[in-house]
A and B are shown apart, each in its own frame.
Chain A
């Protein structure tokens, strides 16, 4: 498989996409293009294979957000810069189940983190957050996402990854054994 990841385009084939989760399927099939092009509430990046460059095999959605400084309790404000806290939101990430186990999830999150780093370089952001399904929290934790306290027992788990950690990871060179 020669996978490329790019922005969703109007005539991409999404009708057959099935990640096994209806809200994630629907989001791609019904709302993704509108959300990206008209409502501008997220940018959707899709994974496609060179052999079928219009068929979406997986996707993720990114947006930016910020936390106003006054929302933080006085206890923490001292350790924070005197501005709103800018961040990137990884809103969704899904892989068509027919293609699971082929490293698509890894490729998608890799691209999402690289984009986050570019956003940090160009417009500034401090971290990336995502709302993970509880059964997927372990997968995000492998990449260093840390669960935030205060998630509801049944709802998604909000998770955090510091841009400084991503930047440090990107500066690592391959170890001699891997060369």
Chain B
């Protein structure tokens, strides 16, 4: 093998490999849809002139993320008709991220014994959660 070539191949062995274009990791998303939901997706895709499920999901995600961020900031999502009639979107899952979970303040009557018992519990170690409580929090 001619030396020049040998040298070149040595250099090649020590040279850093050329940077490959970054691969974007894509996650597959699969959903079981009821026939009515499948129909709804098809109808929406047709209405929006979308051909791929990926585009559909991507746009739906953008819209959902926007709704969540608005609700998180305490903004309400309102639709307004041409006559000025307004409707507020109430979507239970969105309400979960809304900051206005503050509840009105009320006074409760306490007996001295109840307060003693309360103080003892509050200042002590918390009880371990029961199985029903764990299930309730997982729901």
**A interface with B by C-beta (< 8 Å):** 4-7, 9, 40-43, 62-67, 71-73, 75-77, 79-80, 85, 88-89, 91, 106-107, 109-110, 113-115, 118-119, 122-123, 126-127, 129, 142-144, 146, 148-151, 158, 160-162, 164-166, 168-170, 172, 174
For the complex, would chain A's binding face be called helix, strand, loop or mixed by DSSP majority?
Answer: mixed
Q: B7 near A: Cβ within 8 Å?
A: no
Most B CB within 10 A of own CB, among A66, A73, A123, A144? A144
Q: B95 near A: Cβ within 8 Å?
A: yes
Shortest distance between the CB of B55 and any CB in chain A (Å): 28
Q: B35 near A: Cβ within 8 Å?
A: no
Task: Give me the 7 closest cross-chain CB pairs, A-B, nearest first.
Answer: A150-B113, A79-B123, A76-B119, A169-B129, A164-B126, A110-B136, A149-B117
Complex contact A144–B119 (CB within 8 A): no
Residues of A within 8 A of B134 (CB): 169, 172
Shortest distance between the CB of B122 and any CB in chain A (Å): 6
Residues of B within 8 A of A65 (CB): 105-108
Shortest distance between the CB of A156 and any CB in chain B (Å): 11
Q: B133 near A: Cβ within 8 Å?
A: yes
**B interface with A by C-beta (< 8 Å):** 90, 92, 95-96, 99, 101-108, 110-124, 126-130, 132-139
Query: CA–CA, A41 to B16, complex, Å?
Result: 70
Residues of A within 8 A of B120 (CB): 76
Shortest distance between the CB of B78 and any CB in chain A (Å): 15
Complex contact B121–A119 (CB within 8 A): no
Query: CA–CA, A118 to B107, complex, Å?
Result: 21
Shortest distance between the CB of A111 and any CB in chain B (Å): 8
Complex contact B101–A142 (CB within 8 A): no
Complex contact A150–B116 (CB within 8 A): yes
Complex contact B92–A6 (CB within 8 A): yes
Residues of B within 8 A of A172 (CB): 129, 134, 137-138
Complex contact A143–B136 (CB within 8 A): yes
Complex contact A89–B127 (CB within 8 A): no
Can you list 27 contacts pairing A with B, beta carbon distance less than 8 Å? A63-B103, A63-B106, A66-B105, A67-B118, A72-B115, A72-B116, A73-B115, A76-B119, A89-B106, A110-B139, A122-B99, A143-B130, A143-B136, A144-B127, A144-B132, A146-B127, A148-B113, A149-B114, A150-B111, A151-B114, A158-B114, A160-B117, A165-B129, A168-B126, A169-B136, A172-B129, A172-B138
Given A122-B99, A150-B116, A158-B114, A89-B122 contact (CB < 8 Å): no
Complex contact B103–A119 (CB within 8 A): yes
Most A CB within 10 A of own CB, among B90, B104, B105, B117? B104
Residues of A within 8 A of B117 (CB): 148-150, 160
Residues of A within 8 A of B105 (CB): 63-66
Residues of A within 8 A of B119 (CB): 72-73, 76-77, 79-80
Residues of B within 8 A of A158 (CB): 114
